[in-house]
Amino acid sequence: MFEQREILQIDYVPSEKRIVGRDEQIEKVAEEIGPIVVGKPPNSIIIYGKTGCGKSLVAKHVSKIAREEAENRDVKLATGYINCQQAKGNSDALSKYGRAINPPESGVKFPARGISENEYFERVWSVLNEFYDAAIIVLDEVDKLNNDDLLMALSRAGEDGSVDVPIGVIAVSNKINYRDKMSERTKSSFGHNEFIFEPYDAEQIREILQNRTDAFVDGVLEEGVIPRAAALSAKEHGDARKAMRLLRYAGDQANKENAERVKESHLSDARASAESDRLLELISGLPPHSKHVLVALANLSQNHPDREWFRTMRIREMYLNICDQSGADPLSTERTRQLLNELCFLEIAGSRRGTGEGKGHYSQYTLLWDADIVLTLET
């Protein structure tokens, strides 16, 4: 079924003509980063938005275009992309960036482990000072780092004399409240601008998928497959990643059946696998207590199939049981509520407000995913 299956992979970076519905966002991000192409200090930025709305795509694209434009101006621009969810802390992130920008002739080594965080910084600074006129670093899922020390160091590197070249940071986060968790010193030093990306609509997702049909052998996609995949993805999440995953799995399903064409029915068959993979992607980077809260909500949903909504204290009771079983020290009631709200932002859970018998209000939460899938992934 496939001619170029990699085109439907999540980490595939498309050419500019394949990017849909993000022209305005690309322009705004480029305006902030723009001075870097002539070796001048840019404005660092944070991009917020839900999974699959084009944040990483835009960050990578602007970084790539900036490098090409700088090269045309004889400006040596270092660029590197770090997925902080995959990095094991600041040292690992610095090591990955160092290897991305390190020219063979430098003689500097960036081992995966074995040296201090300060030494990683020193080696990055030395490479930048000797071989480059400016630098961009993309920190995807920056909220997954243990602290904001890396942002602080990058934003102050020029001011404290660590490095002689301007550095632009493009940070990406699914958590819109990430700025609230930054220290005041980092907020002041980073001095960033912020952009919020909205989810794609059905027409945009349809166009995204249409632009990638060359992933398949010509003529194997039935006419209704692209519109159906786009409609399903837009209705539930507005997530382009999910749409591409769903289309890819439909092709795999057709291959398994030795079918001659990919049909709408293959989308239905592939949907369960796509759902499991997307949920795993959403929860894989969650801290342990967020997962405990999620499992508590899933257990309640499974044990009470006649009920859809559960109050905070009922979820907390189940959460305390899970903590007791796992030997974890439970967090406060307020922190439990915050974790539930974070699950809502990720569209793993939903929330609503209720009114008690008196004048008080209370919160209720519901699981937006199949409880069996959640418990299978977390047990």
Please give the annotated binding residues for ATP, written as ranges: 200, 212
Contacts of 306 (CB under 8 A, 6+ apart): none
124 vs 128: CA distance, rounded Å: 6
Between strands 349-355 and 193-197, the pairing is: unpaired
**Binding site per annotation, positions:** 200, 212
Contact 84, 169 (CB under 8 A): no
8 Å CB contact between 176 and 144: no
Task: Report the C-alpha gap between 356 and 313 in whole angstroms.
Answer: 14
H or E stretch covering 80: strand 77-83
The token pair at 250 is 């439909």
- Cβ-based neighbours of 212, under 8 Å, separated by 6 or more: 7, 8, 14, 18, 244, 247
Neighbouring C-beta atoms of residue 257, cutoff 10 Å = 12
3-state SS assignment for residue 179: helix
User: 324-331, long-range: CB within 8 Å, 24+ apart, which pairs?
Assistant: 326/292, 328/288, 328/289, 328/292, 331/289
At 212, is the secondary structure helix, strand, or coil?
Answer: coil
- Strand 167-173 to 134-140 pairing: parallel
Given the structure tokens 């600041």, which residue do they identify? Answer: 90
Q: Rounded to an integer, what distance in angstroms lies between the CA atom of residue 22 and that of residue 196?
A: 12
- Cα–Cα distance, 232 to 283 (Å, whole number): 21
DSSP string, 228-295: HHHHHHHHHT--HHHHHHHHHHHHHHHHHTT-SSB-HHHHHHHHHHHHHHHHHHHHTTS-HHHHHHHH
Do 336 and 293 touch, CB atoms closer than 8 A?
A: yes
